[in-house]
Amino acid sequence: AQRVTQPEKLLSVFKGAPVELKCNYSYSGSPELFWYVQYSRQRLQLLLRHISRESIKGFTADLNKGETSFHLKKPFAQEEDSAMYYCALRYQGAQKLVFGQGTRLTINP
C-alpha cells in the first residue's frame, strides 16, 4: 500500500539555522511527491513538487528513489517559515493524494 511517513511531529530550530524536514514514502511505481504547507489560520497550499525541481521560498526537495525519500531543506530558516508541513504522494496520475502526518516547524528567534 502507498504510505508517506514524516518521522518528526515537531521540529524546532533557530532563525538562520538549516532546516530539514524528513519524508519517506512507500510505493513501487513512479510517484509524484509534493510538499504542502499550512501557515497559521491559512488554508493548505502547495509549496513545491518534485517534477518542477524548483526552489520556493528558499526551500528545495530532492526525490531519492533509492532511499524512497523526499526531504525538504532550507539552508537558512526564517521566522515566517513556522508552519505545518505535509509531504504527499500522488500515484498513477490520479488526483488522490496520500499525506504524511505532518511536521510542525517552529523557528525560534
Enumerate binding residues for other proteins (CB under 8 A): 32, 43-46, 49, 86, 88, 93-102
Between residues 43 and 109, which has the closer beta carbon with respect to other proteins? 43
Closest distance to other proteins from the beta carbon of 43 (Å): 5
Q: Which residue has the cell 509534493?
A: 34
The minimum distance between CB 80 and other proteins, in angstroms, equals 20
- Tell me the CA distances in angstroms from 99 to 12, 15, 19, 30, 37, one per residue in order: 21, 27, 20, 16, 12
Q: Which is nearer to other proteins, 4 or 77 (CB)?
A: 4
Indicate the SS3 state at residue 34. Answer: strand
Cβ 63 to other proteins shortest distance, Å: 15
Closest residue by Cα to residue 70 from 12, 20, 105: 20
